[in-house]
Amino acid sequence: MRVTRGAVFDVAVDIRIGSPTFGQHVTAKLSAENWAQLWIPPGFAHGYCTLEPNTEVIYKVTAYYAADLDRGLRWDDAALGIEWPVDPARVKVSDKDRKQPRLKDLAPAFFFEP
């Protein structure tokens, strides 16, 4: 993922069952100014929040979108320990994202292969 205008706070969470880093996350600030990229491998949940108005992102994916495989993870799950740089009371979250399960309730979809 790369930002072409503005900036985002980007997060990837390991959701691979059996992984020694299951439930852990990494974060990065991506911006048009720093031109940094973040690669999120299969088995990681991905989310971000915009830090500036009119932010635009581009990203590549490994396969075409398949609605039947679409899954999500609750962005504000306290068990993840993500320190989002936004006021939770002022966040605009889609209905879809608001209904996502917490990590402990997430159905297994990826498995760690050592």
Radius of gyration of the chain (CA): 14
- Taking the CA atoms of residue 9, residue 102, residue 105 and residue 60 in that order, the dihedral angle to the nearest 10 degrees is -20
**Number of domains composing the chain:** 1
**Residue 17, SS3?**
strand
Question: For the chain, which ranges sit under pLDDT 70?
Answer: none
What is the residue range of 84's domain? 2-111
CATH of the domain at 86: 2.60.120.10
pTM of the model: 0.92
Which pLDDT belongs to residue 56? 98
Beta carbons of 74 and 102 less than 8 angstroms apart = yes
Which pLDDT belongs to residue 69? 87
